[in-house]
Chains A and B, each alone.
Chain A
Amino acid sequence: MSVVGITKVAKRYGRVTALEDVSMTIADGEFFGLLGPSGGGKTTLLRSIAGFIDPDDGEISIDGKPVKNIPINKRDIGMMFQNYALFPHMTVTDNIGFGLSVRHRPKAEIEARVTELLRLVRLEGFGERKPRQLSGGQQQRIALARALATNPRVLLLDEPLGALDKKLREEMQFELKQIQRNVGITTVFVTHDQEEALTLSDRIAIMSEGKVLQIGAPRDIYERPRTRFAAGFLGTANFFEGTVSGREGGLTRILLAGGTAIFTRDEAPEGRSVTIAVRPEKFTVGGATPAPASDAQVNRIAGRIAGEVFAGNSVTYRIDAAGRIVTVYMQNRMTERLGPDAPVTLTWDPAHSIVLED
């Protein structure tokens, strides 16, 4: 179990910058997600930790010791590849035992460890099969068992569930998390799937264009995204651009282009142009004539239903309000349907108006 330190790591390919000034510390036993679009640099970072890529600048350390001069096969890492990379000519047992066998461990020890791991991934009795005789989910679990066999200091997962279909992926998310918890191994994984990142990670680093945009617990990043990109990549967000026009009663007043004013708890200097993000599920949709404004501490804007997507338990509304289209998620609990063009009032708590940095 180990701590992984990444300090000011950079990597360039010709004129393309794959990593730029990347720093983070992954705590002992943590399940750490690298989330971002393809080409964002997350795989480059993972392969740099593994040793397949040598960064141009910066330092990567495991347990405080720089790993730059340690070759891949001496780094003591467990890596699971996107396509699993199981050895097709070996049985499941030989695949899992490979790491121990190249370390010349005694046969009995290898056998015991393989049995233990097969039990861990719930595939006892599959030891004599060849990889091609297994389903995708089973192959994935064998790949995980193989990566864990040598008790590595760090487990690296490259798009661990990317090759599975949706239903299997949900099952394996749960299982992967469970196994990681039981083993307690420091784990770094790469994904472009926001749901996977949210469910698996203790903490997430959002990466784009080689840079780290935000690091934090899934809930923190979701509730307090710092940038437009982070807000849009992890979940969905509505953006309101406006100018700060004063502070009253613990709230900051933002004047939107159309003249509508909205409020936020966040502070911002007067006169600055800012972008506000509001998550679609934070809105409440009411009738055209709202209840009297007994509570001034609420944002309230008028709008019109522009579209509706019905998904059974929830409904997504597209509402034309304050000169833009606002996306709103609602639980399917209303007694009446909101027809097209129906006038509505959107209300939300100023605490849910997040001032972004860009």
Chain B
Amino acid sequence: MTALVSASTRRLRAILGLTGGTYLVLLITILLPLAAMLYFSFLTVTPIGGRTASFTLKHYTDIFTKPLYRVNGQRSLMLGFQVTLICFALGYPAALFLARHIKNRWREALLLLIVLPFWSNGLVRTFSWTMVLTDSGLVGQALQAVWPGAPSIDLMFSYPAIVIGLVHAYLPYMILTCYVSLQAIDDSLAEAARSLGASSFTIFRRITLPLSLPGVVAGTVLIFVPVLGSFMEPRILGGQQAIMLGTLIENQFTASFNWPLGAALGFTMLAVVILIMGICYPVLKKHLSAN
């Protein structure tokens, strides 16, 4: 009995010793700041600079009653869905092509090109679009020179401009996650399906797509969540269209100095994300349990 106890104690100690450091880092960098923000979201004013704050639920009741937040929340959700969908529509075929038809060094080179945008600053990248999405920019002028009377490509300060900027920023996530999933599928599975009489389309629908679903899900989560809270692209490229949940939150922290409201908005968004994941979970679990 004593031997058993000491064995389990030793085991516990080993687990604590091995994982303790990681949990400490997570505690300091994520859990504590989050807890502080959660606390702030229930305060009347930002408790910095000698101001006295008291407890309130006002921010949360505002969020759920004032149309401003509901409308912009819906706009952000819509943006999230659209950007994710476009990333999937562009990224999945690209990943499939890369995994199936490109070999060896060409594949490495193309993968490098895909991750290349990550090496440049996001702000610089976004500002670069302002030069592309206008008729007076380099691209616009070149187009007019080659094709006088070409249709205008001036999309600056419009909703499509935000979508273009965000798709450009997040597309690599979808390509990479889908590529990893697709590449892990054994070629002999497709051969087996073909020998059993399946057409190329059937093979894709019943073998390739279901087996690459984990990559699609990972890409979707990696894109949808940050797009929901994005503020840089809407602000720089969106103009009049810039008001989104992300920019509203950013405003509370940078312009209005209303941290409690910003924190409350942030936690509401987190709750929405968790809610969406919760709704999708049973469906995903069914399809992802294979591997």
Contact = CB atoms under 8 A, between A and B. Distances in A.
B199 A73 contact: yes
Nearest to A91: B290
Contacts of B206: 98, 102
Interface in B6-28: none
B194 interface: yes
B195 A78 contact: yes
B189 A50 contact: no
A102 B188 contact: no
Contacts of B193: 87, 98, 102
A31 to B, nearest CB: 19
Nearest to B291: A88
A102 B198 contact: yes
Interface in B197-243: 197-199, 202, 206-207, 210-211
B197 A81 contact: no
The main secondary structure of chain B at its interface with chain A is helix
Interface residues of A, number: 29
Contacts of B207: 87
B192 A85 contact: yes
A85 B290 contact: no
Nearest to B187: A85
A88 B211 contact: yes
Interface string A71-96: 01111111101110111111000000
Interface in B173-199: 186, 188-189, 191-199
A267 B291 CA distance: 64
A146 interface: yes
B211 A89 contact: yes
Given A102-B202, A130-B290, A87 B195 contact: no
Contacts of A75: 195
Contact of B194 (A73, A83, A147, A150): A73
B195 A72 contact: yes
Q: Which of B186, B202, B290 has the most CB of A within 10 A?
A: B290
Q: Which of B198, B210, B211, B287 has the most CB of A within 10 A?
A: B198
A81 B193 CA distance: 11
A150 B202 CA distance: 17
A88 B207 CA distance: 9
A89 B290 contact: yes
A90 B193 CA distance: 12
B71 to A, nearest CB: 41
Contacts of B188: 81-83, 85
Q: Which of B197, B199, B207 has the most CB of A within 10 A?
A: B197
Contacts of B290: 88-90, 130
A283 B284 CA distance: 68
B59 to A, nearest CB: 45
Given A73-B196, A98-B193, 16 more contacts: A73-B199, A74-B197, A79-B192, A83-B186, A83-B188, A85-B188, A85-B189, A86-B192, A87-B189, A87-B193, A89-B210, A89-B290, A98-B198, A102-B198, A146-B192, A150-B197
Interface of A: 50, 52, 72-79, 81-83, 85-90, 98-99, 102-103, 130, 146-147, 149-150, 156
7 contacts: A52-B191, A75-B195, A79-B192, A88-B291, A98-B196, A102-B206, A147-B195
